[in-house]
Amino acid sequence: MYGAAYGVIADIATIDERGSFVGVLLLMTDFATSLGPVIGGGLTQAFGWRAIFWFLAILTGSHFVIMLLFFPETQRKIVGNGSIEPRGLIYQTVFSLIRRRRRLRDTEMMRGGERDGHENRAPAKTKTRLRFPNPLACLPVLANKGSLLVILITAINYAVKAALQTSLDAQGSKLYGLNSIQAGLVYLPSGVGGGFGSYGAGKFIDWNYRRTVDRLRKDEGAEYDRKSPEFPLEKTRLRGIYVLSGTTVAGIIGYGLTLKFRWHIAVMLVMQLLTGTATAATFTLCGTLLTDLNMNRSATAQAASNLVRCLSAGGAVAILQPMVENLGPAGCFAVYASIVSLGIPLAWVLQRYGLAWRKGQPTAA
């Protein structure tokens, strides 16, 4: 669903508004991942752990019904700019099928009175071939240098954030003696900060794009836009990423020191707020750029990103407890901070050489 959401954004949003769409998407996902532990803690304390799975079944089932009823097809190969009616059951909502049947029935009733001596024939139906998705189709995206660097920056930040979130229960909750509900509440600062960071970064991306276009038009007297192969897309989209990376590093180090010296829980929550805000903003910058670089395969590119970032997150979480036991919390999160700092040279390389790499490829739409 995460990759499909980016595919929809690529279908319906132009390049000068795409950042805001990605920001709203990540606002919802960041806040949801932090709200989940709060709901889970409350359900566990009130009804037992089984209530969590009943809640998830009801929630996901309701979401599926809503998608089935209301969510239209947006892929431009199928519906164009929305003016083409999709064919095939899998591309239509329940309401669109009902509306289409009513329209066909009304058309047949209007033709029913016409008699011209010829036999009325129903229009031939176009058969839609059902193709099964290839799970390996996302791998060629990793062969693109620009896309690979964007994915690596995303994966680094996501992996460390996953380790931070895991440590809240494994380290923070036990250290401060929190109950189930309190253990869930400590996830909120990261989610709230992530929501504001995603939304604010999305607005900043769109504003910075328009500012860059206006500046280039003024300086060069040319129509610099998304179709220009000379447009500095990588520099424009990743503006501010060094500040975000530095904030993330500082927040991670501060979090590790808080656990080591057992400072007040408010300090730990502030560190979570900083890292949540900075990493969410970084995801928005990278997600928007990855969509720009892969307009014809946005969902596939996000699938490749999901593959790399989830594998990275699994590895980061797996080594969390062994590092805490051997290095202590301060040393452990100093290592994670150094990993995040690797994204800084990657971003520099992408901004420096991304335009040259992209010149030999189709321009972003």
pLDDT in tens, 112-132: 655 444 444 444 455 556 566
| pLDDT interval class at 213 (50, 70, 90) | confident
Taking residue 97's Cβ as centre, other Cβ atoms within 10 Å add up to: 11
Residue with tokens 């504001």: 196
Contact by Cβ (8 Å): 172, 190:
no
pLDDT at 129: 60
Secondary structure letter of residue 92 according to DSSP:
S
274 has a pLDDT exceeding 90: yes
Which alpha helices (DSSP H) does the chain contain, by range? 2-12, 18-47, 50-70, 76-79, 94-112, 145-167, 174-176, 180-185, 188-220, 233-237, 241-261, 265-293, 298-318, 320-341, 343-359
156 vs 329: CA distance, rounded Å: 19
Cα gap 104→281, rounded to integer Å: 48
Q: Which two tokens stand for residue 324?
A: 């805490």
The predicted structure's pLDDT at residue 351? 93
> 2-71+138-359: what fold?
Growth Hormone; Chain: A; (1.20.1250)
Query: How high is the pLDDT of residue 32?
Result: 79
Query: Whole-angstrom Cα distance, residue 79 to residue 91?
Result: 9
Mean of per-residue pLDDT scores for the chain? 82
**Domain ranges for the chain:** 2-71+138-359, 76-109
Q: What does the pLDDT read at residue 364?
A: 44
Residues with Cβ within 8 Å of residue 240, at least 6 apart in sequence: 201, 204, 281, 285
Distance CA 229, CA 167 (A): 45
Question: What is the Rg, in whole angstroms, of the alpha carbon atoms belonging to the chain?
Answer: 25
| pLDDT above 90: percentage of residues in the chain | 40
Answer yes or no: is pLDDT of 229 > 90. Answer: no
d(CA 85, CA 103): 13
Nearest to 299 by CA among 42, 6, 44: 6
Is pLDDT above 70 for 28? yes
Nearest to 84 by CA among 69, 95, 74, 70: 74
Question: Structure pTM?
Answer: 0.82
